[in-house]
Structure 1
Amino acid sequence: MKSGQGQTEAQGMKVAVTGASGAMGRAVVSDLVGRGVPVVAVARSPGGAAAGVTPLAHDLLGVGDLTATFREQGVTHLIHAAWITDHGTYWHAAENRDWQAATLRLAEQFDAAGGESFCFVGSCAEYSWDTGLLVEDVTPEEPATLYGQCKAATSRGLLAAGLSCRVSVGRVFHPFGPDETAHRVTSLVVNALLAGEAFHLRSADVYRDLCSTRSVARCLVDLCLSAKAEGVVNIGSGRPVHLGRFLARELGAELGGERLVTWDRQDVDDPANPRVLIPMVRRLEAICPAAEYTAEDVAGFVAALSARRQG
C-alpha cells in the first residue's frame, strides 16, 4: 500500500470514515480504496457498497452507540469528516453544538472499542484570521463564527480527553473538487461559464491556499495512518494563490471564458474576508507531501461539472 512517503503495511487495518457520502468523505474513501485498505463508510445514507467498502447507515446525532459495531467490524482507524456543511447557514447554525457533542461521544466509543487512531477533520476557521499566516499552536484560536468556535472546542476536547488512541486534527484550508456543493465559488464560476454567462466577484482579490479534495484526502489518510502524527496539523499547500486569477485564468481558461470572470479590487482588509489566509505546513511535510492541485485536477473538476450539467 502506497502512502505519502513510501510503504505502509495494510494487513489487519480497517478505517471507518464518517461523512462518507460528503465531498471530503468520498475523496477519503476513494484514497483508502486505492491503497487497498478496507473501509467502513459511515453516513445517514451511505449508498451502495463498492469493492472494499462496507456501508454503515448511522445518524451520528442520534442516540445509537457504535462501540460494539467498531469492535465487531475490526475498525482500527477512524477519519471523522462528518459535520454540518449546509452552505450559507453552517457558519452560525446551532447544529454546530450538536456536532461538537456528537464528535466527542464518537471518539469515546471508538476508544472503548480499542481503536488505534482517531483523525478529526478540522478547519482553518478554528483560528483567528487577524494574521495572514496561520501556524499550529501559535496563531490564536479565536474564531469569529459559531462553526469555528465549535470546531476549535472539539479539537481541544479531543486532545484533552485522555483517550488511549492516538488523536490528530487535520485543519483543512481551501479545497475544491467534483463532489462539492454547487454553491461554492469554484462551482458557481464554472457553472456560469458552462452557460456562457459572465461572472463578477466582489471578494476575489484575495490570496488563499487552494488544493484539490483528492490531495487533501491523501493528506488526511496519511495523517491518520502515520504512527508519528498527533495533535493539530494544517492541511494545505502553504502556497498563496490569488483567488480571482485562479478562477479566471485556470478554471475559466478550461472553458475559453477567462475574460468573462471579473472581480472588484479590495483596498481595505475585511476581517471576515482577509486579503491573505495561508497555513504554515511544516508539520504536515514532516508526515507527507503537502496538499496541492494539478492541471489534471482543474481539468477533471471542470469535466465533472460539465457532465453533471448535461445530466
Structure 2
Amino acid sequence: MATWLITGAGGWLGGWVLDAVGRTLADGDRIVVLGRNRPASLRGALFVGADLRDPEGLGRAVRDVAPDYVIHAAGKTPPTPDEEMYEANFWGTDRLLNALRHLDRPVRVVVAGSAAELGPVAAADLPVVEDQVCRPMTAYGRSKAMATAAALVARGPLEIVVGRVFNPVGPGMPESLAFGRFAAQLAAPDLPQTLLAGRLDARRDFVDVRDAARALVALAHQGQARRIYNIGSGHSRTVQEGLDLLIHLSGRSVRIGLDAGATRRGEPDDSRASLDRITAETDWRPSIPFERSMADLWSAASARGGMALPLTG
C-alpha cells in the first residue's frame, strides 16, 4: 500500500497528473491532493487543505498524509507578478521539501520543472541535454531554476527527481499560453476580426500534457534520485503550424495581427529536448502526436465556449 501526494491538482498539468496516477494505482494505494482550494473534481482522491506559504500548517498536513510518493506540480506562471512567482515556485517548493524532510524517511519526490529554466540555447546545442548550463532570462525561468536547484541539493533521505517539462499542449490548455488563447478566441461566439499573436516563426518542443503527466509518474517509479529529466516530444515546430491547425479545425476565417506585447525578452528562437536520458532510464515515450493534441485542444475549447483551467493550481 502506497500513498501518493499531488500538489497543483486544481491546475491544468496537475489535473492530468492526478488522472495519470489514478490510472496506475495498485490495489490499496490512495491519492491525496494537497492545496489551498479543493479542486472541482478529485477523481477518487482525498483532499487535504494546506498552504505552501504556511510552513507549520504544511508540516502538519504532510505528517498526517505520510506520503510515499509526491508529485509537486503547484506553482505560478506569467502573467503573475514576479514576486508571486518567486514566492510560489521557489519558496513554496523549498517549504514542501522541508516538510517532507522532517518525515525522516525515504520519500520519492518528483518536482515539475520547466524548459524556461534553460533560457536561450544556441542552435549548435540542440537538442538540448539536461546538463546544459541554464541562463534563464525571465522571472518565471529564474524562479523555476531556483526550485530545481533547491530540489537537487536537498539533504536527507528524500529521493528527489526533476522532470523538466518543455511546452505542454492539449485539451484544457489555459489562455495564459498561446494556443489556449487562440483556441478560446476561435471558439468564442464573438470572434475578433483580427487575432493577435506574437512571434509565429518561433520554434518550440510541444509535448502533449497527457504525455507530460505520464512522464512525471514514470519518474516517480523509475527516475534516478538527484537527476533532471527532459520531458518533451524531441521535435520542434513553429507556432504558425499550431495556429494554422486551429484555424483549420475551427472552420472560421480570421486575420492575424502582430501583438508586440506577447513577445518576451530572452525567449529562444528554437527549443528542442533530447529525450535520451528519460527513454534510457524509464519506460516512458511520448505517444500523442501534435496533430491530435491540437485536435483535442480544439474539441475541448469549442465544447466549453473557450473556458479553460489555470495552468497551475
Q: TM-score range by the shorter chain?
A: 0.7 to 0.9
Residues 255 and 227 of structure 1, relative CA distance in 2, 3 Å threshold: closer
Aligned position for 2:94: 104
Q: 1:290 aligns with which of 285, 289, 302?
A: 285
Q: Which stretches in structure 1 are left out of the alignment for 5+ residues? A: 1-11, 265-269
Q: Give distance in 1, aligned partners of 2:116 and 2:306.
A: 35
Q: Percentage identity across aligned positions?
A: 26
Q: 2:171 aligns with which of 178, 184, 190?
A: 178
CA contact (8 A) 2:119 2:267 kept: no
Q: Give distance in 1, aligned partners of 2:198 and 2:44.
A: 44
- When structure 1 is superposed on structure 2, of 233-242 and 219-228 the one drifting more is 219-228
Residues 276 and 303 of structure 1, relative CA distance in 2, 3 Å threshold: same
Q: Give distance in 2, aligned partners of 1:283 and 1:69.
A: 34
Cα deviation for residue 71 of structure 1 reads: 3.9
1:265-310 superposed Cα distances (whole Å, 9 cap, x missing partner): xxxxx96233211111111212133335434433322121112218
Cα deviation for residue 214 of structure 1 reads: 1.0
Residues 278 and 111 of structure 1, relative CA distance in 2, 3 Å threshold: same
The alignment's TM-score, normalised by the length of structure 2, stands at 0.83
Aligned position for 2:243: 247
Q: Secondary structure of the residue that 1:33 maps to in structure 2?
A: helix
Cα deviation for residue 230 of structure 1 reads: 4.1
**More RCO (CA 8 Å, sep 6+):** 2
CA contact (8 A) 1:247 1:261 kept: no
Q: Which stretches in structure 2 are left out of the alignment for 5+ residues? A: 259-263, 308-313
Q: 1:47 aligns with which of 31, 39, 42?
A: 39
Cα deviation for residue 200 of structure 1 reads: 4.5
Aligned position for 1:7: none
Q: Give distance in 1, aligned partners of 2:287 and 2:206.
A: 7
Cα deviation for residue 32 of structure 1 reads: 0.8
- Aligned-residue RMSD, C-alpha: 2.6
Cα deviation for residue 35 of structure 1 reads: 1.7
Aligned position for 1:277: 271
- When structure 1 is superposed on structure 2, of 271-280 and 14-23 the one drifting more is 271-280
1:90-110 superposed Cα distances (whole Å, 9 cap, x missing partner): 5xx112332312311211211
Query: Which letter maps to 1:26?
Result: G
The alignment's TM-score, normalised by the length of structure 1, stands at 0.83
Q: 1:136 aligns with which of 111, 130, 133?
A: 130
Q: 1:31 aligns with which of 20, 24, 48?
A: 20
Q: 1:190 aligns with which of 183, 191, 208?
A: 183
- When structure 1 is superposed on structure 2, of 275-284 and 291-300 the one drifting more is 291-300
CA contact (8 A) 1:244 1:262 kept: no
**Where do residues 1-311 of structure 1 align in structure 2 (5 Å cutoff)?**
12-36=1-25, 38-47=30-39, 50-85=42-77, 87-90=78-81, 93-99=82-88, 100-113=90-103, 114-132=105-123, 133=126, 134-137=128-131, 139-194=132-187, 195=189, 196-197=191-192, 198-226=194-222, 228=224, 230-248=226-244, 250-257=245-252, 260=254, 262=256, 272-286=266-280, 287-291=282-286, 293-294=288-289, 295-309=291-305
